[in-house]
């Protein structure tokens, strides 16, 4: 090990492939987060304001997806569903799996945010004749957006790093590209040190972008992890 000579020159020609993989990782994280956010918002709204009978199926959904590994969930979509005649590409299986998993966690995050609503504001909305949807749209969501933005941002960063599991299914995101390049060059130390640096870079950039967005929209304190 002491005699090992780093040869990054063999890796630089593959840097465009690694950057393409980083872009794909960000794409998967963004799409699955947006889908999960929609699921979480709908579920949290129903838990807070919907009929009582919808609570049990939503809670069952949350318990299942938050108490089983995300990798196992994607394995089920990719390997088990074909037995039922449902064929998914590796990209689709990863995207759907991450979306459903995010939906469960974001349901809990947003449900907690909904509980911070101010009763006086709700009473004023009722007096003004707001419908249930108008109360959510114009009173509740603006109030809880500032409360929810930090935990939602943190979950997005976690999801970005979690896209590395897509490599197991042959998706050529950043880790997948690194494994492919490693099989060609056999320069593992160089490749994965570069990949680690790229993950740090995209995480910092995502944190900076989210911090700026939060400071502009919700006047949250800018923080880069």
- C-alpha span between 149 and 152 (Å, rounded): 5
Q: Maximum Cα–Cα distance for the chain, whole Å?
A: 78
- C-alpha span between 120 and 30 (Å, rounded): 36
Taking CA atoms, 120 is separated from 116, 124, 127, 135, in Å, by 12, 6, 11, 12
For position 16, what pLDDT does the model report? 94
Predicted TM-score (pTM) of this structure? 0.85
- C-alpha span between 176 and 65 (Å, rounded): 25
With tokens 């040190």, the residue in question is 193
| Residues of the chain scoring pLDDT < 50 | none
Question: Mind giving me the DSSP string for 161-216?
Answer: HHGGGGGGGT--SHHHHHHHHHHHH--HHHHHHHHHHHHHHHHHHHHHHHHHHHHH
Q: Where are the alpha helices (DSSP H) in 50-140?
A: 55-66, 70-75, 90-114, 119-127, 132-135
* Alpha-carbon dihedral sign for residues 96, 21, 199, 225: negative
For position 150, what pLDDT does the model report? 83
Taking CA atoms, 119 is separated from 126, 140, 144, 183, in Å, by 11, 10, 13, 60
The tokens describing 109, both together, are 């995050």
Q: Go through the domains of the chain in sequence order and give each one's CATH number.
A: 8-217 (1.10.3720.10)
């Amino acid at each position: 090990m002491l005699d090992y000579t780093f040869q990054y020159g063999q890796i630089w020609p593959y840097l465009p492939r690694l950057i393409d993989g980083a872009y794909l990782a960000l794409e998967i994280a963004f799409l699955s987060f947006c889908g999960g956010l929609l699921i979480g918002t709908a579920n949290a709204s129903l838990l807070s304001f919907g009929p009582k009978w919808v609570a049990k199926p939503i809670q069952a959904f949350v318990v299942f997806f938050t108490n089983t590994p995300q990798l196992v969930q994607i394995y089920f979509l990719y390997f088990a569903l074909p037995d039922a005649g449902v064929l998914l590409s590796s990209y689709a299986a990863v995207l759907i799996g991450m979306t459903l998993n995010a939906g469960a966690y974001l349901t809990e995050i947003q449900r907690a945010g909904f509980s911070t609503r101010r009763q006086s504001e709700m009473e004023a909305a009722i007096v003004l004749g707001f419908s249930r949807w108008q109360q959510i749209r114009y009173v509740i969501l603006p109030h809880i957006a500032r409360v929810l933005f930090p935990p939602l941002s943190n979950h997005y960063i976690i999801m970005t790093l979690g896209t590395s599991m897509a490599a197991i299914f042959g998706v050529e995101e950043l880790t997948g590209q690194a494994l492919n390049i490693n099989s060609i060059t056999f320069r593992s130390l160089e490749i994965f040190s570069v990949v680690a640096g790229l993950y740090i870079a995209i995480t910092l950039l995502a944190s900076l972008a989210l911090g700026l967005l939060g400071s502009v929209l919700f006047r949250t304190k800018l923080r880069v992890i």
